[in-house]
Amino acid sequence: MRRFEENATNRLFEKNLIDKEQIDQITSYRDLNIFSLYTELKLFLYMSVLLFTSGIGILIYENIDSIGHIAILSLLFIVAAICFYFSFKNTVGFKKQETNFENPLFDYLILTAVLLICIFIGYLQFQYTAFGTHYDLATLIPTAIGLFCAYYFDNKSILSIAITGLAAYIGLSVSPQSLLHNDFYETTTLSYSAIGLGVILILWSIYSTKIALKTHFNLIYLTFALHLISISCINNLFNAYWGIFGLLLLASSYYFYKSSYKVKSVSLFVFTIIYAYVGINIFLFELIDLALISDFLLPVLYIAPFYFIGSIILFIRLIKKFNKNNTNDSIR
């Protein structure tokens, strides 16, 4: 890390953006080895929110008979209302560009409020069936509240919760139980729904960029869209219409590859490469199986080690190229 910082500083000096005196000042500052606790404190705040909401869930589960349903609902509503009150009181209001609370503690306070209201509505539906047989409303209402709070308070964590709610609304589940039972992969229609939701998220990110509405949210939309579309396409590579989904995966991978450079996200870039690599290999095996070229299987087995080694080398080179281009862009 130190070597990377020194190289970046030297490039600034070579471009005449800083002088020798400024280099000496930067070096002296780095030699102080000052360590910032800002990120660690935010992590602890985030963990405290998760532990608090999880603790409420455990409290409800273990004492549901002794506390009473009305008391539990009242407690959830009161605590959520208090969190909303202080959040609205200290916010700067809605703005199209990125905004922040003066005190970052309120970011976690509004996150707590949204999580509690989700628990409140879910518990209300489970215990009293407040929405009747319209179970989708119990998902859609917290999702709508989450989307409003995400944009009004400019909170990325709440936006992630809201997008997850959208996925649950159309029938997608990411719970451990669904993974163990393989529900996603056995239901082809869920794959189509996931692709549709991914396309909607991409279109919304494009529209948001056009009207300059919270453009820093685009990385979240693109990340969700990447996983939804790529996993769905890879899943359908084992079905009858594997060729169509192979081309769709190729097109989406190219789009996300270009987008990763625009938003300068290494995570988006890495996952795009991984999904594309997995899809290409499955696509090649499908072509081999379709062509019935079993005579070439033995040579393929000999070539396979060199193929995988070459893939690893290519992957490393792509990562280095990505980091180099982003570093040069940031310097310019």
- ∠ CA 36-39-40 to the nearest 5 degrees? 90
To the nearest 10 degrees (0 to 180), the angle between helices 188-211 and 156-169 is: 140
Rounded CA-CA distance 100/320 in Å is 33
Q: Where do the structural domains in the chain lie, given as residue ranges? A: 40-169, 176-332
Sole residue written with tokens 């532990």: 51
The band of 226, judged by pLDDT with boundaries at 50, 70 and 90, is very high
Alpha helix (H) ranges present in the chain? 2-14, 20-31, 38-62, 64-67, 69-90, 105-128, 135-152, 156-169, 176-181, 183-186, 188-211, 218-236, 242-263, 266-291, 297-331
Q: Please check the confidence at residue 110 and state whether its pLDDT lies above 90.
A: yes
End-to-end Cα distance, the chain: 20
CA distance linking residue 202 with residue 178, whole number of Å: 26
The pTM for the full model equals: 0.82
One-letter amino acid of 289: D
pLDDT band at 2 (very low <50, low <70, confident <90, very high): low
Q: What is the dihedral sign for C-alpha 20, 325, 306, 233? A: positive
Q: What's 97's DSSP letter?
A: S
For residue 180, the model assigns a pLDDT of 43
Residue owning tokens 């603790």: 55
> CA 91, 110, 102 angle in degrees (round to 5)?
35
pLDDT digits (tens, 9 = 90+) for 117-169: 998 998 888 888 888 777 788 889 999 999 999 999 999 999 999 999 998 88
Per-residue pLDDT of 281-294, as tens digits, reads 888 777 777 665 55
Residue with tokens 């070459």: 310
Instruction: Say yes or no to pLDDT of 179 above 50.
Output: no
Round to whole Å and give the CA distance between 299 and 172.
42
Query: What is Dmax (Cα atoms) for the chain?
Result: 73
What is the model's pLDDT at position 293?
59
